[in-house]
Amino acid sequence: EVQLVESGGGLSQPGGSLRLSCAASGFTVSSNYLSWVRQAPGKGLEWVSIIYTGGSTYYADSVKGRVTISRDNSKNTLFLQMNSLRAEDTAVYYCARNSGSYPYYMDVWGEGTTVTVSS
Amino acid sequence: DIQMTQSPSSLSASVGDRVTITCRASQSISTYLNWYQQKPGKAPKLLIYAASSLQGGVPSRFSGSGSGSDFTLTITSLQLEDFATYYCQQGYSTPTCTFGQGTKLEVK
């Protein structure tokens, strides 16, 4: 079964760090484009970051310089390292498999992990 | 950046109704438009990709149309399980993508 399972969310103080993980099964992370998408409480979906099969990485302006997307092919796992956390980073974070070609849809989603940034 | 605007933001309907949700892009995005359904506390689910292609396993009462900058999602004969929030997403401006603000479909 094709599946994504996130972990690593929790409570952090402003300025703190968290590392989110997304374990894939049923497909290989190295052969797929993978994205992180977040949803603040009561708000809509916001794209955060994507990693291409070749390793290129891209970020939304709202997180650029504070967040790093990476993957461990041996563990078939995607990561999101989040530093200098702000209150506005509070959200449910979803990892998703991206189609990797136009129209760049996301067809497999994890159940999400919750990040809360508060003092 | 490409902005995506959905209308209406919320919609009340009854089981058996036909509903249409509109998504407008701030510039032409060809047919690189995808639709998702999200239920409370759950992850989004892909319904339609490339404006009009139905994702596998999605009921045929869902359909999409449009090209350029104007798109629609239509649900014919609403079922109870269809009451949810719907998002459009443009896949044109790769690597970034943007979502519409969502349309909440509620029971009348």
- In a 10 Å sphere around its CB, with 0-12 CB exposed, 13-18 middle and 19+ buried, how is residue B29 labelled? buried
Min Cα distance A59 → chain B (Å) is 8
Cβ separation A106–B46 shorter than 8 A = yes
Say if CB B100 and CB B12 are below 8 A apart: no
pLDDT at position B75: 98
How near does any CA of chain B get to the CA of A62, in Å?
12
A88 in reach of chain B (CB within 8 A) = no
Half-sphere exposure of A114 (CA within 13 A, CB side): 6
Q: Which residue has the tokens 């919320």?
A: B10
Contacts B99 to A, Cβ<8 Å: 44-47
Q: What is the pLDDT of residue B5?
A: 98
Q: What pLDDT score was predicted for residue A49?
A: 98
Residues B84, B87, B90, CA angle at the centre, nearest 5°? 165
- Rounded CA separation A102/B93 (Å): 10
Chain A hits for B50, CB-CB cut-off 8 Å, are: 102-103, 105
How far is Cα A97 from Cα A78, in angstroms, rounded to an integer?
10
Backbone torsions φ then ψ of A31, nearest 5 degrees? -100, 5
Residue of chain B whose Cα is closest to the Cα of A111: B43
Residues of chain B with pLDDT under 50: none
> Which residues touch B80 (CB under 8 Å, ≥6 apart)?
B15, B107
- pLDDT value at residue A68: 98
Whether the Cβ atoms of residue A38 and residue A46 lie closer than 8 Å to each other: yes
Q: Which residues of chain A have pLDDT under 70?
A: none
Min Cα distance B8 → chain A (Å) is: 14
| CB A79 within 8 Å of CB A71 | yes
Q: What is the pLDDT of residue B56?
A: 96
Q: Are B49 and A58 within 8 A, CB to CB?
A: no
A72–chain B Cβ distance below 8 A for any pair: no
Structure tokens at A107: 């067809």
Instruction: Specify the pLDDT at position B100.
Output: 98
What is residue B60's predicted lDDT score, i.e. its pLDDT? Answer: 98
* Cross-chain residue pair B101–A44, CB shorter than 8 Å: yes
**pLDDT at residue A115 in the model:** 98
Q: CA nearest B89: which of A57, A98, A92? A: A98
Pairwise CA distance, residues A14 & B105, whole Å: 35
